[in-house]
Amino acid sequence: MKKSSTSVQELPGAAANRPVPPPAWQPRTDPAPLLPDPAPYRALGTDAMAAADPGLLLRLYGELVRGRRYNAQATALTKQGRLAVYPSSTGQEACEVAAALALREQDWLFPSYRDTLAAVARGLDPVQALTLLRGDWHTGYDPYEHRIAPLSTPLATQLPHAVGLAHAARLKGDDVVALAMVGDGGTSEGDFHEALNFAAVWRAPVVFLVQNNGFAISVPLAKQTAAPSLAHKAVGYGMPGRLVDGNDAPAVYTVLRDALARASRGEGPTLIEAVTYRIEAHTNADDATRYRSGGEVEIWRAHDPIRLLEHELTELGILDKDGIREAAEAAEAMAARLRDRMNAEPVLDPMDLFTHVYADQTSQLREQAEQLRAELAAAGEGPGETR
């Protein structure tokens, strides 16, 4: 006899009144509060500027000017053979500077390879920030001293590390927040998914800042994702998404401070998408004219973060011609010092090959170190004399 395919709702008697369990996909939280605003948040030209701290605004401006000059000098150093490669953040300085200034002293910055300016704005020696790109050291600075993780060249691999540090800090009871920076291309990596998923499940005190500069090398954002915005991806992980004008320095600072404070209060992670643009090529080895027009670049030059803030501060009477001149002079002095130091030939010690591999060297490494030391001695060279 053929059995009927009677549904639960059609069952007679008491079975019909039995409660039906909720579907497995039923949301655990209301997704509406997690959605980003339809348009990027802006502070410039709004009432928010009246309540802003003038000292902070001037500091943002000074760092933007210095950052632009830093980018130009580092790019010039690649042409002179002093750097192997430099991924410029020209046009994105507002994101870089706001990220550094929004962090508290105890917080950690997890930068990508394009975020050397953020590291410098946080207080790192500019030469140390460029050491990796020069090829002298794997990092070039002590991450623990500055609370800046090593610059990450592989896309998005620093994001799970940021989550791990933030989660560990919370378990220890330390008030520490990790800020992880990544480009739009990095959001296409598996590490991005894994980091956001773990961060949300663990409610880790971490903030993800995506600098959407339009391209993953030559691949435009439209060929990477069909999402309404990258900030909308936050909903799928169970965290709030924020959308901000990445060329509006006070706006980026405000959104970051809010997210960092939220994480510090134990309310979990936030995904922030800063809409900006990469004015220069991907690196000095890239020809950007092959995949974008000069007209497109010029449109974004008109939305330059330095000019936007400079105009606003001048209109508000916070910045005058003397202030503009002083910021430019300070930036030029920084570039001169950087140029002079980078033009000096580094002294390389071959024995450093063994110094930072393991805290306790293995027997094989000790044997190899002794062999190299003997070879150097036979050649009449001591440690630190090889150039």
Whole-number Å distance between alpha carbons of 66 and 46: 26
CA distances for 201 relative to 166, 237, 269, angstroms: 13, 8, 10
Query: Is 144 one of the catalytic residues?
Result: no
Residues forming a β-bridge with 30 = none
Pull the structure tokens for residue 301.
């030059």
Whole-number Å distance between alpha carbons of 371 and 365: 10
Judge contact between 271 and 234, C-beta under 8 A: yes
Helix-strand-coil split of the chain, %, nearest 5: 50, 10, 40
Which three-class secondary structure state does DSSP give residue 275? strand
- Dihedrals phi, psi of 217, to nearest 5 degrees: 55, -100
Query: Is 311 one of the catalytic residues?
Result: no
Pull the structure tokens for residue 179.
């800020």
Whole-number Å distance between alpha carbons of 1 and 134: 80
What secondary structure does DSSP assign to 192-228, as a single string?
A: HHHHHHHHHHHT-SEEEEEEE-SEETTEEGGGT--SS
Catalytic residue among 82, 114, 170, 282: 282
**Number of Cα atoms under 13 Å in the Cβ half of residue 141:** 22
Query: Is 278 one of the catalytic residues?
Result: yes
What secondary structure does DSSP assign to 140-183, as a single string?
A: SS-HHHHTBPPPB-STTTHHHHHHHHHHHHHHHT----EEEEEE
Q: Residue 121, Cα to own-chain centre: how many angstroms?
A: 13
Pull the structure tokens for residue 85.
């490669």
Which three-class secondary structure state does DSSP give residue 113? coil
Q: Which residues, 6 or more positions from 39, have their beta carbon under 8 angstroms from its beta carbon?
A: 243
Q: Hey, how many other C-beta atoms are within 10 angstroms of the C-beta on 84?
A: 13
Q: Which residues, 6 or more positions from 344, have their beta carbon under 8 angstroms from its beta carbon?
A: none
Catalytic residue among 146, 257, 291, 303: 291
- Annotated catalytic sites, by residue? 278, 282, 291
